[in-house]
């Protein structure tokens, strides 16, 4: 990643590149492929840079507040006594006697390095250039075409020639040759003088935006000349090189490497040490270079054979399919956009895809994948913060996550003793609860569900409650009366503080004095303000009764736009909503829109405060005519909120990155819904991000009459996998929450969902001897097929939700376990019979014997059915409290493995009559994959620990559990196996494994493609071809 804005660059013998750049000073490069330190002392943006022509140890650089010079080369910098102004361009005479500084259109002269400055007469040029030999001589080109020369060390200038007007300010004096000067004249071409400007030759060049010198070609006595321009009118604009003093030109870049052309610094120079290498000033892509392959002096060598192949890890391509609850951006950073999800961690956008930031989460801390709130530091873009927890995972552990490297790594601070969060609770759409004070990076505020408003003054290391804002009591008002689910705690239902918003315009004494806080209180005060940095609080009275704030956006310096809803969302917002304008100085609330639905996301255009965008919350309305989808409204106002247009009345949609499944439906599953947060894209304000229950969408042009929304989920995988199967010929058949699942022949490609859709698919099985026979069970329907991926038929009778299924080997019978009861059918659900003597959560079919099923009970009893699943009998006793995961080996009757958690791993080869307890310390789940080459038995995979001292993770055995190798790492833990609790191998590709996460999709590990050993190959050298490329065979 190279994003500097180069402003000047110089190459001299012995040093490839000395640079000046915006914000970050610049560097001295002896090797352009290596990193170096910035110029020190730092002066940040460095506009001016020059090196004396006859003494390269004499250097000057000018910033916006200081000027430094050195007489000793790369070090020993001394600040000038007097500073003459910002954005200064500098020129140093050949022997370092005098320095010229041009700032704000005025040029100053010094002969004592800034102790005294004298204004130069008769010069308005943007910059002057020193002759590289004559110590008293400087040159300048004025915009009116006059070419001026100074022969008194730069004190005075006189016009000596006239050139075409309107050219570039770039004048280059040739090193080592007095009076040899080149001028880039844009469309006026290229001019050269060899007599210090007395006369000029206008060279045969159609356009020259900038010009520079580089080392001469072999056999040539004069420098290589580089221009950004066009030798002829029909040429393509680009980098051109001449080795014969501009008599002929060769293009030395291509259309794939244009870099936006020369920009702010407007330089193109060659390397004085290496023929053919050039350096170009881009507008934000660093200093681009071109280099001949013949300059690459290291020959290719055979790679060494690694001691053990490295795994590639990622997630199976499905495409979103989970709820994105919030977005945070920085308008100053084009691609600095983060999203949080309710069960799948957080992601960062890189301009083309979403990159996961929390795959490091361990099995023990899997609840941290529920991210409740995010915050960016307004002063330091590298600082990212989050609060993460799920009340139903990891014993409710709540953590404050702190990153100082854009989310690459995090420090995890356990704050469970201070407050509890729930990233998957009601109100997760509101926010943000966590903010950084715009005046001081060390000060943070965090709203909580049950514990009011908290404050930290040490970057989140410690927290204290702001007792002056007593909103804890407000949480006692039940925001959702009548709801009561078993196992669902107050932490799920109560949202507490919904948002915190410090006013950046109120910073005084280092912190924001004015802070706004919203509370999910639907029966009383819900919006509060402090004008003394949180010491005291008052209600901002006058807002809508019966509603509570969802989100807020600042409009200008004196207005807030606040959305309200009758419930915290993201669903069941039946009581309508409002949006209000709050005028800060008067405290006046003004309603700007209302509807029977709630309002969620809101943002104000960063450059035009009259443009406001807003989304509904929890609407399932028809979108478009004819129907395009079913879900949220998105509104746009272009007059500050006085009038609104519903953009979903006339819109189109598409899939960025060709996510296949989203194209094949118009229900809410396939549309923008639960759209509680939207933001202008900082990389392009025509684009707007909006969150959705199925991922995230982005408009291509929010101002269009018919807005197109792209389903932009490349890299975002948030399904909750519930079951997966791999069979010969098909890498993966999956069942997932909400979005059915898919059939994957290639796990890197997107596919359609199972159709007909049944949404959450708890049960999935394939007959062991007939893979065309498949059954899948949802919360309202059960389907079966006898023809593989299609031809699904609904069963006549449905027995209950959350069903696990098992299909006998030859497809004769099916078992369905729902609500602790197992049912049997031999006619695909026309009739169901209750199975006797079984309370297990699931049964498993033998993959060969059609009448045989197995089950492990929580008390340790292992049961077998030999009548097709009608009745079960106990045949063995295993350690109790194990996993419900029982795996029957494909193609081998009676070969069954049972994961027993801390009880280890058990195997039977006689259908359960006897078991061997294998030498495994902990096995949470177990699965089979294709055998290793030269092995006759499957690869075995466990999530667990082979020994007590092992790290919990994915382990593979290729020798029937006699030895184990870990095949994931600490950066790729994904929270371990979760809801679906599966870990299986690919039956078609050795080494590939699939893991059920709790919201990060189906994780996989994969070995690199198989290669022939280098030891078996002979190596041959080849001569270079005319285009300087190498060919290896």
List residues with catalytic annotation.
342, 738
Does a cis peptide bond (omega within 30 degrees of 0) precede residue 989?
A: no
Max CA-CA distance within the chain? Answer: 110
SS3 call for 506? helix
The whole-angstrom separation of Cα 972 and Cα 977 is 12
Indicate the burial class of 104 (C-beta count within 10 angstroms; 0-12, 13-18, 19 or more).
exposed
Q: Are 196 and 153 in contact (CB under 8 A)?
A: no
* Residue that the structure tokens 């016009």 belong to: 159
**Residue 293 phi, psi (nearest 5):** -65, -25
If phi > 0 it is left, if psi is from -120 to 50 it is alpha, else beta; for residue 569 that is: left
Whole-Å CA distances, 44 to 86, 254, 333, 341, 975: 12, 33, 18, 38, 42
The whole-angstrom separation of Cα 7 and Cα 405 is 27
- Written as six digits, the tokens of 204 are 């045969």
- Written as six digits, the tokens of 886 are 């029982």
Q: Are 1002 and 314 in contact (CB under 8 A)?
A: no
Q: Are 322 and 340 in contact (CB under 8 A)?
A: no
Whole-Å CA distances, 25 to 8, 79, 138, 696: 10, 15, 26, 38
**Residue 463 phi, psi (nearest 5):** -135, 150
The whole-angstrom separation of Cα 317 and Cα 748 is 5
Q: Are 999 and 344 in contact (CB under 8 A)?
A: yes
The whole-angstrom separation of Cα 937 and Cα 253 is 56
**Residue 887 phi, psi (nearest 5):** -120, 125
Give the CA radius of gyration of the chain. Answer: 35
Indicate the burial class of 351 (C-beta count within 10 angstroms; 0-12, 13-18, 19 or more).
exposed
SS3 call for 116? coil
Cα angle value 205/209/212 (rounded, 5°): 85
Whole-Å CA distances, 773 to 784, 810, 813: 7, 8, 11
Can you name the residues that pair with 637 across neighbouring β-strands?
A: 612
Buried b (16+ CB within 10 A) or exposed e, 896-907: bbbbbbebbbbb
* Residue that the structure tokens 């060659």 belong to: 270
Q: Are 689 and 707 in contact (CB under 8 A)?
A: no
Q: Are 213 and 245 in contact (CB under 8 A)?
A: no
Q: Within a 13 Å sphere around the CA of 1028, how many CA atoms are in the beta-carbon half?
A: 9
Within 449-587, strands assigned E span 453-456, 464-465, 497-502, 507-508, 511-512, 515-519, 527-530, 538-539, 548-555, 559-565, 577-583
The whole-angstrom separation of Cα 650 and Cα 645 is 10
Long-range contacts of 770-775 (CB under 8 A, 24+ apart): 770/809, 770/810, 770/811, 771/727, 771/728, 771/729, 771/730, 773/807, 773/811, 774/733, 774/807, 775/805, 775/807, 775/814, 775/828
| DSSP letter (8 states) at residue 121 | B
């Amino acid at each position: 990643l190279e994003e500097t804005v180069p402003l000047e660059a110089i190459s001299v013998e012995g040093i490839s590149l000395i640079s000046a750049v915006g914000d970050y000073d610049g560097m001295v490069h002896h090797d352009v492929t290596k990193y170096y330190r910035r110029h020190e002392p730092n002066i940040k943006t460095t506009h001016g840079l020059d090196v004396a022509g006859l003494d390269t140890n004499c250097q000057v650089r000018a910033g916006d507040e200081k000027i430094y010079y050195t007489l000793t080369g790369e070090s020993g910098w001394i600040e000038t006594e007097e500073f003459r102004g910002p954005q200064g361009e500098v020129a140093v005479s050949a022997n370092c006697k005098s320095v010229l500084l041009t700032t704000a259109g005025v040029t100053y002269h010094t002969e004592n390095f800034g102790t005294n400055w004298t204004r130069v007469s008769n010069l308005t040029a943007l910059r002057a250039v020193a002759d590289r030999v004559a110590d008293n001589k400087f040159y300048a080109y004025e915009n009116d075409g006059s070419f001026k020369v100074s022969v008194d060390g730069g004190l005075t200038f006189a016009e000596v020639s006239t050139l075409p007007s309107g050219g570039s300010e770039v004048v280059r004096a040739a090193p080592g040759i007095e009076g040899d000067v080149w001028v880039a004249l844009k469309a006026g071409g290229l001019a050269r003088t060899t007599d210090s400007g007395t006369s000029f030759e206008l060279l045969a060049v159609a356009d020259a935006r900038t010009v520079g010198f580089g080392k001469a070609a072999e056999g040539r006595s004069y420098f290589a000349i580089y221009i950004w321009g066009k030798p002829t009118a029909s040429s393509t604009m680009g980098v051109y090189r001449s080795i014969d003093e501009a008599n002929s030109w060769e293009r030395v870049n291509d259309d794939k490497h244009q870099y936006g052309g020369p920009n702010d610094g407007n330089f193109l120079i060659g390397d004085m040490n290496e023929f053919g290498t050039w350096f170009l000033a881009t507008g934000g892509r660093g200093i681009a270079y071109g280099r001949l392959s013949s300059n690459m002096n290291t020959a290719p060598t055979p790679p060494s054979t690694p001691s053990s192949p490295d795994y590639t890890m990622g997630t199976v391509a499905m495409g979103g399919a989970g709820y994105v609850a919030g977005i945070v951006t920085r308008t100053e950073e084009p691609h600095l956009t983060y999203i949080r999800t309710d069960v799948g961690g957080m992601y960062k956008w890189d301009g083309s895809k979403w990159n996961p930031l929390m795959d490091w989460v361990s099995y023990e801390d899997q609840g941290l994948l529920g991210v409740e709130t995010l915050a960016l530091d307004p002063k330091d873009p590298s600082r990212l913060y989050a609060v993460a927890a799920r009340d139903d995972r990891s014993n409710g552990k709540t953590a404050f996550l702190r990153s100082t490297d854009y989310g690459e790594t995090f420090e995890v601070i356990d704050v469970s003793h201070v407050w509890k969060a729930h990233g998957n609770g009601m109100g997760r759409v509101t926010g943000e609860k966590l903010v950084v004070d715009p005046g001081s990076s060390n000060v943070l505020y965090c709203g909580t569900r049950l514990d009011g408003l908290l404050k930290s003054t040490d970057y989140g290391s410690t927290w204290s409650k702001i007792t002056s804002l007593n909103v804890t009591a407000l949480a006692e008002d039940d925001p959702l009366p009548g709801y009561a689910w078993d196992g669902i705690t107050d932490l799920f239902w109560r949202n507490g503080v919904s948002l915190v918003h410090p006013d950046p315009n109120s910073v005084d004494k280092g912190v924001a004095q004015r802070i706004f806080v919203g509370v999910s209180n639907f029966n009383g005060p819900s919006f509060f303000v402090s004008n003394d940095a949180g010491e005291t609080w008052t209600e901002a009275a006058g807002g809508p009764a019966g509603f509570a704030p969802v989100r807020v956006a600042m409009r200008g310096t004196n207005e807030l736009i606040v959305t309200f809803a009758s419930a915290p969302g993201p669903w069941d917002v039946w009581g309508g909503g409002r949006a209000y304008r709050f005028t800060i100085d008067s405290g006046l609330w003004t309603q700007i829109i209302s509807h029977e639905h709630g309002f969620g996301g809101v943002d104000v255009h960063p450059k035009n405060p009259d443009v406001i965008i807003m989304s509904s919350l929890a609407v399932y309305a028809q979108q478009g005519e004819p129907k395009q989808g079913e879900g949220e409204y998105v509104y746009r106002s272009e007059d500050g909120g006085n009038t609104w247009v519903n953009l979903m009345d006339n819109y189109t949609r598409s899939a960025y990155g060709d996510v296949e499944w989203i194209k094949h439906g118009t229900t809410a599953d396939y549309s923008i819904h639960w759209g509680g947060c939207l933001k202008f894209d900082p990389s392009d304000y025509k684009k707007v991000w909006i969150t959705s229950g199925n991922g995230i969408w982005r408009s291509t042009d929010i101002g269009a009459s018919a807005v197109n929304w792209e389903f932009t989920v490349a890299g975002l995988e948030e399904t909750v996998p519930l079951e997966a199967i791999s069979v010969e010929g098909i890498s993966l058949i999956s069942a997932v929450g909400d979005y059915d699942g898919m059939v994957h022949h290639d796990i890197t490609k997107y596919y359609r969902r199972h159709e007909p859709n049944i949404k959450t698919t708890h049960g999935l099985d394939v007959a062991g001897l007939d893979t065309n026979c498949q059954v899948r069970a949802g919360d309202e329907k059960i389907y079966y097929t006898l023809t593989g991926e299609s031809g699904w038929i609904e069963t006549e009778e449905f027995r209950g939700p959350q069903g696990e299924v098992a299909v006998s080997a030859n497809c004769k019978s099916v078992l369905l376990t729902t609500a602790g009861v197992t049912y049997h059918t031999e006619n695909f659900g026309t009739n169901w019979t209750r199975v006797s003597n079984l309370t297990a959560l699931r049964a498993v079919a033998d993959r060969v014997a059609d009448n045989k099923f197995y089950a492990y009970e929580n008390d340790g009893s292992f049961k077998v059915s030999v009548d097709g699943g009608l009745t079960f009998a106990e045949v063995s006793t295993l350690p109790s409290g194990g996993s419900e995961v029982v795996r029957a080996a494909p193609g081998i009757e009676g070969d069954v493995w049972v994961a027993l958690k801390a009880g280890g791993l058990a195997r039977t080869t006689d259908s359960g009559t006897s078991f061997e307890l294998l030498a495994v310390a902990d096995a949470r789940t177990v699965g089979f994959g294709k055998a290793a080459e030269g092995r006759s038995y499957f690869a075995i995979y466990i999530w667990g620990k082979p020994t007590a001292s092992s790290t919990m993770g994915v382990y593979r055995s290729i020798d029937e559990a006699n030895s184990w190798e870990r095949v994931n790492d600490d950066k790729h833990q994904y929270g371990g196996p979760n809801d679906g609790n599966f870990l299986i191998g690919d039956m078609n590709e050795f080494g590939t494994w699939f893991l059920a996460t709790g919201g990060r999709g189906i994780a996989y590990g994969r070995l690199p493609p198989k290669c022939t050993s280098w030891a078996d190959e002979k190596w041959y050298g080849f001569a270079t071809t005319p285009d300087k490329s190498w060919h290896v065979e």
